[in-house]
Structure 1
Amino acid sequence: MADPSKGGRKKPLKLKTGSFDRNAAMARMGMLAGAQYAGHTLGNLFRNKADREARNRDFYVRQAQFLADELGQLKGSVMKVGQMLSVYGQYFMPPEAIEVLRSLQDDSPPVAWSDLEPVVVERLGRRRLDELEIDPEPLAAASLGQVHRAWRRSDGRELCVKVQYPRLADAIDSDIRTLTQIVRLARLVPKGMELNAIMEEVREMIYREVDYDRELRMTREFAERLAEDDRFVVPEVFPEYSTETVLVTSYESAHHVQSEAVKQLDQARRNALGEQALELFLREFFVWGMVQTDPHFGNYKIRLNSEGPDQLVLLDFGATREFAPRFLGSYYAVVTGAFHEDAEQLIDGAIGINLLRRDSPQHVFDAFARVGMLVIEPFGRHPPDALVTADGAYRWGESDLPFRVSRAISDAAISRWFRIPPREIVFLHRRMGGVFVLLAVLDAEIKGRPMLAHYLEREDVQHEREHRQSP
């Protein structure tokens, strides 16, 4: 969720939840998007090829900005679709357009408490709600709901009340159908792209995130799995105050990842935090097969301790995904192949998860293998000397690895042989990329190879992998 402490508080938004308001706003979006495309196409008739390519790129950016501005006012599932387009769009949209849509991830104005309070009363009941004192100023706001700080009157216990925006779930199907047409009119996806399939996956993801009963269960699951590890904090849930659209947890004080207090930590403490974040991701994927896939910095806070280890405070488990055994087995092959520089194993795994086509020419396989070896650079045998400390740790803050990977894919000209990855990969890589960014922000120096080797060679992981790969 967006953190109001970053960049100042935003003016509360008057929520458009009525069907008339939303339909009128989306109809306006469709008309404007279509008109803009028509004008752009007409103008291109009088331009040479080089000018057309430059103007097309600029057009994508302007259309993405238009969409981001409009969706940011509507909230709800339409805004969430815009966020997810920034995740999927990296496989087929210009980078500049992706950056615009990514602004929807953390630039979300809150909804006025006066609009939400009647809904909370309806969901919890006045008697139960009166047991709490709720701050009308939200702690955080996002596309599907927002969080308010509260206190239990009986004992002063500090709580967080997460409230889903009213009538949101009822509008998901209609919103996605309408927005699919708007995205087509805006020409934000290439011809031939299976937009309906992408939108269906986004639809399932949104339904998962608005299921607060499931989020409560996932929060408990992570709390139980991490109960014996004092490096992590998972909030306590309060079922007596929670419903399918209101979730109440304990308030956990902590610093934002980009706060000055975190920046001032010495190298050893920042390294320890980086190792915690990386190990948690490896444990989620390799051991549990269950990953919290939303890497937004608002979901990962840092509690600094004078005694004992600094802790990662983990928030918001609505985007938790459980991965199918077949996918996990093939993805293990990709990672193991890259780790051991075994191109054949890496390629077999990529075919197994539908990332590569089996009928691809050899040069495509070779190019993909090179990209795979590059991705695993922080865990490889021989990272670039400039990115390694004297004792062999990878310097995440100095690395431009994401840029080099993107350039390698473009230079290899293998994009057309890729399929749009299945959702498992999209969301897994979303989280993995978030971990890499977190390590860079912490300016961590970590020996990643032995950490990854530990999980690749663990007996329980080996046994589970063999089980998953068996017919």
Structure 2
Amino acid sequence: MANKSDRKDRKPLKLKTGSFDRNAAMARMGVMAGASFAGHTLGNMFRSKEGKERRNREFYVKQAQFLADELGQLKGSVMKVGQMLSVYGQYFMPPEAIEVLRSLQDDSPPVAWGELQPVVAERLGKKRLAELEIDPEPMAAASLGQVHRATRKSDGLELCVKIQYPRLADAIDSDIRTLTQIVRLARLVPKGMELNAIMEEVREMIYREVDYDRELRMTREFSTRLEGDDRYVVPQVFPEYSTETVLVTSYEAAHHVQSETVQNLDQPRRDALGKSALDLFFREFFVWGIVQTDPHFGNYKIRLRDEGPDQMVLLDFGATREFAPRFLGSYYDVVTGAFEKDAKRLIDGAIGINLLRRDSPQHVFDAFAKVGMLMIEPFSDDAPDELTTPDGAYRWGESDLPFRVSRAVSDAAISRWFRIPPREIVFLHRRMGGVFVLLAVLDAEIDARDMLASYLYRETEVDPERAG
């Protein structure tokens, strides 16, 4: 979610929640996207090959920017689809378009309190609402809702009130059908791409994120599982103020990871926070099989303490996913194969999670194994000398590993043999990448080989208990 300080000069939106307003706006998007492509195609008829390639790149940026601007005004599920396309699209969309759509992740203007106050009054009831003093200026705003700080009048307790935008859930199905056509008209996906299947997965994800009852349960689940570990803080939930579309939790004061306060911490404290972030991810995946898959820095804030370890304040569990034991077993083989430099185990695991086709030629298997072993570099015993400290810690802030992995895939010419991964992998890698970026932002120096090994070689690889 975009935070309060980032939006001081941004004009609040008037929500287009009525069916007429939304349908008219989306029809306009479709007409303009189609007309833009027709003009682009006509212009390319008279350009050289180099000119066409340059103009194609410019066209993708223009189309994606148009889509991002329009979705940002509409809010709701259409904007969330744009965000998710930036996650899925890395496997099939032009890089220029991905960069623009990624702007939707963090850059969401708020909705005016005058638009939401009557909605909150109706959802909570006048008696409950009267017990709270709600700040009309939102703390954070996103595509599906926004968060306001509040005080309980009876005891001064500070709270956070998460409000889902009105009539949002009712529009999800029609929004996705219409946006699927617009994305096709804008030519942002390759011809022949099975876009409907991707959109269906996005649809299921959005329904999960607008289920505030489930988010309340998942918040409680993480709180219970992390109870007693003072490295982490999970907000308390207040069911008496919560409904299907309003979620109230305790307010937890903390710093943004990119704040000057956190960036100026000494190396040992930053390293400890990095270890906490990495250990949490490993525990979620290898032990619980339950992963909070949204890596937005606003969901992982830092509370500094004079005594005891600094803490990670964990927020927003709407994107929590549960992973099936069969998937976990195959992915475990991928990671263990890379860790042990066992190419056969790595490849068998990749086939098991549908990353590779079993009928791929041997050179594809060899190249994929090489890439997999490169990806585990921070946990290996042979990382480049320039990326390790004298005592063997990996220097996350200095690493260009994502670039080298991307280049290795391109150089091996194996991309066409990859399948578009199933949603489990897409959202798992989304969170994994977020952890790696967090460690880089902290400029952490960590020897995490033993930490990963402790999870790979546990007696019980997957916790049989599952959240409800």
Distance in 2 (CA, whole Å) between partners of 1:358 and 1:280 is 33
Tell me the CA shift for residue 46 of structure 1: 1.0
Equivalent position of 1:122 in the other structure:
122
Equivalent position of 1:450 in the other structure:
450
Tell me the CA shift for residue 410 of structure 1: 1.2
The 5-angstrom pairing of residues 403-422 of structure 1 reads 403-422=403-422
The 5-angstrom pairing of residues 270-419 of structure 1 reads 270-419=270-419
Tell me the CA shift for residue 335 of structure 1: 0.3
The 5-angstrom pairing of residues 88-99 of structure 1 reads 88-99=88-99
Deviations 1:73-119 (A, max 9, x none): 00000000000000001111222221110100000000000000100
Tell me the CA shift for residue 396 of structure 1: 0.4
Tell me the CA shift for residue 217 of structure 1: 0.0
The 5-angstrom pairing of residues 49-68 of structure 1 reads 49-68=49-68
Equivalent position of 1:209 in the other structure:
209
Aligned residues: 465
Distance in 2 (CA, whole Å) between partners of 1:447 and 1:151 is 43
Equivalent position of 2:428 in the other structure:
428
* Counterpart secondary structure, 2:309: coil
Tell me the CA shift for residue 50 of structure 1: 2.1
Q: Would the aligned equivalents of 2:292 and 2:319 in 1 still touch at CA under 8 Å?
A: yes
Change (3 A) 1:467 1:109: closer
Residue 179 of structure 1 aligns with an amino acid whose one-letter code is: L
Tell me the CA shift for residue 10 of structure 1: 2.3
Tell me the CA shift for residue 8 of structure 1: 4.4
* Counterpart secondary structure, 1:154: coil
Deviations 1:410-453 (A, max 9, x none): 11111111110000000000000000000000000011211100
Q: Would the aligned equivalents of 1:211 and 1:244 in 2 still touch at CA under 8 Å?
A: yes
Equivalent position of 1:228 in the other structure:
228
* Counterpart secondary structure, 1:247: strand
Q: Would the aligned equivalents of 2:339 and 2:380 in 1 still touch at CA under 8 Å?
A: yes
Deviations 1:113-159 (A, max 9, x none): 00001001111100110000000000000000000000000000000
Distance in 1 (CA, whole Å) between partners of 2:289 and 2:143 is 27
Residue 419 of structure 1 aligns with an amino acid whose one-letter code is: R
TM-score (norm 2): 0.98
The 5-angstrom pairing of residues 241-280 of structure 1 reads 241-280=241-280
Q: Would the aligned equivalents of 2:289 and 2:463 in 1 still touch at CA under 8 Å?
A: no
Deviations 1:233-270 (A, max 9, x none): 00000000000000000000000110010011000000
Deviant stretches of 4+, over 6 Å: none
* Counterpart secondary structure, 1:460: coil
Distance in 2 (CA, whole Å) between partners of 1:367 and 1:97 is 27
Tell me the CA shift for residue 57 of structure 1: 1.8
Equivalent position of 1:111 in the other structure:
111
Distance in 2 (CA, whole Å) between partners of 1:235 and 1:7 is 24
Distance in 1 (CA, whole Å) between partners of 2:10 and 2:448 is 39
Equivalent position of 2:4 in the other structure:
4
Equivalent position of 1:155 in the other structure:
155
Deviations 1:380-431 (A, max 9, x none): 1201111000100000000111111111111111111111000000000000
Q: Would the aligned equivalents of 1:4 and 1:10 in 2 still touch at CA under 8 Å?
A: no
Distance in 2 (CA, whole Å) between partners of 1:48 and 1:381 is 50
Equivalent position of 1:195 in the other structure:
195
Q: Would the aligned equivalents of 1:232 and 1:313 in 2 still touch at CA under 8 Å?
A: yes
Distance in 2 (CA, whole Å) between partners of 1:356 and 1:72 is 36
Deviations 1:174-232 (A, max 9, x none): 00000000000000000111100000000000000000000000000000000110000
The 5-angstrom pairing of residues 39-58 of structure 1 reads 39-58=39-58
Tell me the CA shift for residue 9 of structure 1: 4.9
Distance in 2 (CA, whole Å) between partners of 1:262 and 1:455 is 28
Tell me the CA shift for residue 7 of structure 1: 6.6
Residue 368 of structure 1 aligns with an amino acid whose one-letter code is: F
Q: Would the aligned equivalents of 2:113 and 2:137 in 1 still touch at CA under 8 Å?
A: yes
Distance in 1 (CA, whole Å) between partners of 2:463 and 2:441 is 36
Q: Would the aligned equivalents of 2:169 and 2:207 in 1 still touch at CA under 8 Å?
A: yes
Change (3 A) 1:319 1:288: same
CA-atom RMSD, angstroms? 1.2
* Counterpart secondary structure, 1:38: helix
Distance in 2 (CA, whole Å) between partners of 1:466 and 1:247 is 28
Distance in 1 (CA, whole Å) between partners of 2:95 and 2:428 is 20
The 5-angstrom pairing of residues 167-178 of structure 1 reads 167-178=167-178
Residue 284 of structure 1 aligns with an amino acid whose one-letter code is: E
Q: Would the aligned equivalents of 1:208 and 1:319 in 2 still touch at CA under 8 Å?
A: yes
Distance in 1 (CA, whole Å) between partners of 2:6 and 2:412 is 39
Tell me the CA shift for residue 6 of structure 1: 3.8
Change (3 A) 1:412 1:467: farther
Distance in 1 (CA, whole Å) between partners of 2:355 and 2:30 is 33
Q: Would the aligned equivalents of 2:94 and 2:188 in 1 still touch at CA under 8 Å?
A: no
Q: Would the aligned equivalents of 1:68 and 1:82 in 2 still touch at CA under 8 Å?
A: yes
Identity of aligned residues (%): 83
Tell me the CA shift for residue 5 of structure 1: 2.4
Tell me the CA shift for residue 466 of structure 1: 12
Distance in 1 (CA, whole Å) between partners of 2:394 and 2:299 is 25
Distance in 1 (CA, whole Å) between partners of 2:448 and 2:176 is 41
Distance in 2 (CA, whole Å) between partners of 1:447 and 1:263 is 20
Equivalent position of 1:72 in the other structure:
72
Query: Mean alpha-carbon deviation: is it higher for 299-308 or for 49-58?
Result: 49-58
Distance in 2 (CA, whole Å) between partners of 1:287 and 1:174 is 38
Distance in 2 (CA, whole Å) between partners of 1:300 and 1:365 is 37
Q: Would the aligned equivalents of 2:287 and 2:463 in 1 still touch at CA under 8 Å?
A: no
